[in-house]
Amino acid sequence: MKQEHASWLQMYKKAKHPLQDVEEPNLMRDMFPYEEVPKTFFDGQTVDARPAPEIWMTDTTFRDGQQARTPYTLEQVSKLFDLIHRLSGPKGVIRQSEFFIYSDKDREALEEVRNKGYEFPQVTAWIRANPNDLELVKKIGIKETGLLTSISDYHIFLKFKKTRRQVLDSFMQVVRAAAEAGMETIRCHYEDVTRADFWGAVVPFTEELLKFAALSGLKIKIRLCDTMGYGLPYPGVSLPRSIRKIVYYLQNEFGIPSENLEWHGHNDFHKVHINSITAWLSGVSAVNGTILGFGERTGNSPLEALAVEYTSLTGSSNGMDLTAITDIGNYMREIGTQVPVNFPFVGERFNVTMAGIHADGVIKNEEIYNIFNTAKILKRPLGVNITNRSGIAGVGFWVNQQLEKRGKPRVDKRDPRVAEIFSWVDQQYEQGRVTAISPEEMMEQFKKHFDN
């Protein structure tokens, strides 16, 4: 390894992109003024979108996902991992899941899921870039770990209080130690890459990493972390916020295969999902997400949204069990998680209509107001929530759902029994009611008029 280290130093001296070791941090105040909303700049240059030849997901529910909520119990980790495994399917569309390894509880959870023997998701670790953390990885015997390699001057100068050279040298020290320890893969997490000096720091560090990898045999993956959600999907937008350009230039300069690139986004500006899809379409194979998008601050890419998008983009679920999405949502509510009722795919009312005119359309053909066959794909039949806006059409739809469950023929919305239930609903609101009619109340009316 000493010979390899010496060879690496020689190659570093001949770097095509030497590190720009500036004395003052480049905080790009024109783009990130802090006292104002960040600015979107266009440079008039576009790059070709080159979609990854194969795409998949990775999971950080038990790492980033736990940074924004009460930590999961061992039992909850075990159950959720089973559900993620089910969603992933036998072909591993959700390829990996990463875990903290700092506490006894962290390591117990990792061993719990590792002992299940699932091929997918593969279990990996996450550590900071210091030798002590690497020792933890060696002790548990995992061959791949994520390594936090913060890349922007906001972190290098303002957090670490060091120069670019000092920080990147410390990262390389841990990477070399990982190779010496027999690790197979190091996944470098480029924290805050969408606010970093791309040509002055990101590209030079990548060159050093890949040159060392070529000499040592250590596999290097790069996770592009949009830590603050600054990434933008638009063509022609300027670096460092351009997702397309980050991926394009890294692949153009170094020939990094798509399978070694990963995107990790945050939703600070409501762009986490579109940014993740942009990363796939720009040449990144792996997109990192969490159950229901839970993660630091505004959260990460929701795994369930990525699963549906994957199916749309590829034209196939590739063995994924999409009904697991509904079971994930139900289990999260069961353990006390507040899930917005209108949250796509898992919210209690995501496919429930309340408007009477919509319900009237649904009676004629549910495709008019349902995104797809949610009963078949997600185990979630289309529903109607009865309010003073539902009209007799909404009441009729609700009644017919109950009749179908009992194997009885449908009725017209003008059926006298439907009219009587609608009259009762109308009276509730004439008397000042403001809340929706509960399913229990509706069932009482249904039994009164139809079960006799």
Give the percent of the chain with pLDDT over 70. 94
Residue range 157-180, pLDDT digits in tens: 999 999 999 999 999 999 999 999
**Which tens digits make up the pLDDT trace of 366-409?**
787 788 888 899 998 877 778 887 788 889 888 988 888 888 99
* C-beta of residue 328 within 8 angstroms of C-beta of residue 308: no
Q: What's the pLDDT score for residue 306? A: 98
Does residue 337 surpass a pLDDT of 80? yes
CA dihedral 209, 286, 148, 123 (to 10 degrees): -110
Q: Region 350-364: what's the mean pLDDT? A: 64
> How confident is the model at residue 364, as a pLDDT?
66
| Residues belonging to the chain | 452
Strand partners, 302: 290
Q: 2-334 maps to which CATH number?
A: 3.20.20.70
| 188 has pLDDT over 50 | yes
Residue 88, φ and ψ in degrees, nearest 5: -60, -40
Would the pTM of this model clear 0.75, i.e. be above it?
yes
Asked which of 6-15, 141-150, 404-413, 439-448 is least confident by mean pLDDT, the reply is: 6-15
194-215 average pLDDT score = 97
pLDDT of residue 174: 97
pLDDT at position 1 over 60? no
Judge contact between 197 and 230, C-beta under 8 A. no
Alpha helices in 258-408 (DSSP H): 272-282, 303-314, 323-334, 356-364, 374-378, 391-405
Q: Give the burial class of 158: count Cβ atoms within 10 A of its Cβ; 0-12 exposed, 13-18 middle, 19 or more buried.
A: exposed
pLDDT over threshold 70, residue 299:
yes
pLDDT higher at 69 or 134: 134
Q: Where are the domains positioned within the chain? A: 2-334, 352-450
Between 2 and 234, the higher pLDDT residue? 234
Residue 259 has pLDDT above 80, yes or no: yes
